[in-house]
Amino acid sequence: MRLKDILSTTEYTVIKDGNPEICDLVYDSRKVTKDTVFICLKGYTSDGHLYAQSAVEKGASALIISDELDYSELPDNVAIIKTADTRLALALMSVEFFGHPADELKTVAVTGTKGKTTTTALIAEIFEQSGIKTGTIGTLGIVYGGKTYKTNNTTPESYEIQKAMRDMINSGCKAMVIEASSIGLKHHRLEGITFDAGIFTNFSDDHIGGVEHKDLAEYLYCKSLLFRQCRKAAANIDDEKYSEVTKDFCGKVLTYGFSEKADLTAKNDRLISDGGFIGVKFETEGIKSLSAEVGIPGKFNVYNALAAICAVSFFGIDDKAIISGLKNASVKGRVEPVKVPGDYTLLIDYAHNALSMENVLSTLRQYNPNRLITMFGAGGNRPKVRRYEMGEVSGRLSDLSVITEDNSRFEDVMDIIEDIKTGIAKTDGKYVVVPNRKDAIRYCINNAQSGDIIVLAGKGHEDYQEIKGVKYHMDERELISEILAENKQ
């Protein structure tokens, strides 16, 4: 593809003329090969302009810059293009390079402080239940065709998003749902896409300071950017910031919530727990009259379900698929249920600090389990106060804590466990110590009683364990299968 074709929607100035044939776009100088175009991105800790010379030496036939650059020693056949914002240029160039893949998919973007991952999973499962093969992009990575490709950010760089959509199409996907983070929107990672639907979940104080947002106003503003590039929009009417976040949307915003003013209203919500199934049930009125169950615990998941219902309503998805999708959806590593032969509930969750443990365990206590059992460890080479706090939270909210290993890194597991015990000692909570994680899971399964809820906390979607600088493969789902098979024998 010719450079000028890739730049067709980008505003630029030609510094050194040239229209080479381009085989790929690259913004990491280590990945430059012959006939690539190198985009000089400016990050928090690095500046791509410093690697322009190296990129040319590796075979780059064009450079995209935003700062002044000494190009006197560069070969005459290297094109140099200057633009105001190379991140914006990367996004628009990626759209052209991959052939506008969003135009070939049903696209939904979900933004908000909380609930993005769950809402994305619910929408995707409803699409799948209606026969629409769907890919997702977000916290858990790029997921489609039963495979997960890890990413560094909730909303990856624009090139990765455009490539992922093209790969999804090539694998047979007809829809894509993405988590639109405020940072992703701030850095133009979603630029060049007009989404069929944009969804707002909620807004609260988060991601302020450091390299994220300078203040709450900027954080809110960045969330609102999504609604400048959507054909349809839905928002949580119960969140006081919903109208401010969606103010730039051109059209009527579909609203959802418990408020009677909402276009889609939830009512009669109640917690349900039955034979290992744990979730919430509710009815809706307004644009949809449904009786639905969500197989993810907590009243707040009614909001996520309402958001998903609104999203798929824009595509005419039938009620049967909606009901089935909500009931069958799960989020990997987020209070994820694992089927076991017994009248108890086994969940895997990513909670790895005191706040997240408090949220999960407080939610599960509302189901009045026979016992709430929490298995967890703590990360090595991290502040010790986290361990004390986690121990105290589990001791206070769990009927039994099973203390084990997590990513011990360069610390001794038993030292970490002693710190956790210090926190538990501030409570009346009962505990046992089982240092090996597989043995700890086995202990939980073999000692489960009818009506128990068991949470394996800390690893969630992770499939590794880090010890002494080495990451070893370890997926708790696989460990559970092995233990159940061993028990049968």
CATH number assigned to the domain comprising residue 373: 3.90.190.20
Q: How many domains does the chain have?
A: 3
- Tell which residue, 259, 181, 289, has the closest CA to residue 225: 181
Can you give the pTM of this predicted structure?
Answer: 0.92
CATH of the domain at 321: 3.40.1190.10
Give me the count of residues in the chain. Answer: 489
Q: Is residue 241 domain-shared with residue 143, that is, in the same domain? A: yes
Q: Is residue 312 domain-shared with residue 415, that is, in the same domain? A: no
Last residue of a domain, one of 264, 295, 328: 328
Domain that holds residue 180: 101-328
Distance in angstroms (rounded) separating the CA atoms of residues 380 and 310 = 43
- Dihedral sign from CA coordinates of 455, 461, 464, 469: negative
DSSP state for residue 228 in the 8-state scheme: G
Q: What is the pLDDT of residue 82?
A: 97
- 466 strand-pairing partners: 471
At 444, which amino acid appears? C
Q: Is residue 149 domain-shared with residue 288, that is, in the same domain? A: yes
CA atoms within 13 A of residue 215's CA, in its CB half-sphere? 1
Q: What is the pLDDT of residue 313?
A: 98
Q: Does the residue 118 lie in any domain? A: yes
Last residue of a domain, one of 86, 118, 152: 86
Q: Is residue 258 domain-shared with residue 317, that is, in the same domain? A: yes
- Tell which residue, 179, 175, 176, 161, has the closest CA to residue 116: 179
Q: Does the residue 321 lie in any domain? A: yes
Q: Does the residue 93 lie in any domain? A: no
List CB contacts of 300: < 8 A, sequence separation 6 or more. Answer: 114, 115
- 230 strand-pairing partners: 195
Q: Does the residue 96 lie in any domain? A: no
Q: Does the residue 91 lie in any domain? A: no
Q: Does the residue 92 lie in any domain? A: no
| Per-residue tens of pLDDT for the chain, all 489 residues | 999 999 999 999 999 998 999 999 999 999 999 999 999 999 878 899 999 999 999 999 999 999 998 878 888 899 999 999 999 999 999 999 999 999 999 999 999 999 999 999 999 999 999 999 999 999 999 999 999 999 999 999 999 999 999 999 999 999 999 999 999 999 999 999 999 999 999 998 655 566 666 688 999 999 999 999 999 999 999 999 999 999 999 999 999 999 999 999 999 999 999 878 899 999 999 999 999 999 999 999 999 999 999 999 999 999 999 999 999 999 999 999 999 999 999 999 999 999 999 999 999 999 999 999 999 999 999 999 999 999 999 999 999 999 999 999 999 999 999 999 999 999 999 999 999 999 999 999 999 999 999 999 999 999 999 999 999 999 999 999 999 999 998
**Three-state SS letters, 42-74:** ECCCCEHHHHHHHHHHCCCCEEEECCCCCCCCC
Q: Is residue 169 domain-shared with residue 202, that is, in the same domain? A: yes
Q: Is residue 80 domain-shared with residue 12, that is, in the same domain? A: yes
Q: Does the residue 71 lie in any domain? A: yes
Q: Does the residue 351 lie in any domain? A: yes
Q: Is residue 286 domain-shared with residue 395, that is, in the same domain? A: no
Q: Is residue 186 domain-shared with residue 63, that is, in the same domain? A: no
Q: Is residue 367 domain-shared with residue 259, that is, in the same domain? A: no
CATH of the domain at 32: 3.40.1390.10
Q: What is the pLDDT of residue 26?
A: 98
Q: At what angle do helices 300-313 and 116-129 cross, to 10 degrees?
A: 50
Q: Is residue 114 domain-shared with residue 148, that is, in the same domain? A: yes
Q: What is the pLDDT of residue 44?
A: 78
Q: Is residue 64 domain-shared with residue 116, that is, in the same domain? A: no
Q: Is residue 77 domain-shared with residue 105, that is, in the same domain? A: no
* Cβ atoms < 10 Å from Cβ of 410: 10
Last residue of a domain, one of 287, 309, 328: 328
- In Å, the largest CA–CA distance within the chain is 76
- Tell which residue, 124, 126, 40, has the closest CA to residue 84: 40
Helical ranges in 156-299 per DSSP H: 158-170, 182-186, 216-224, 242-245
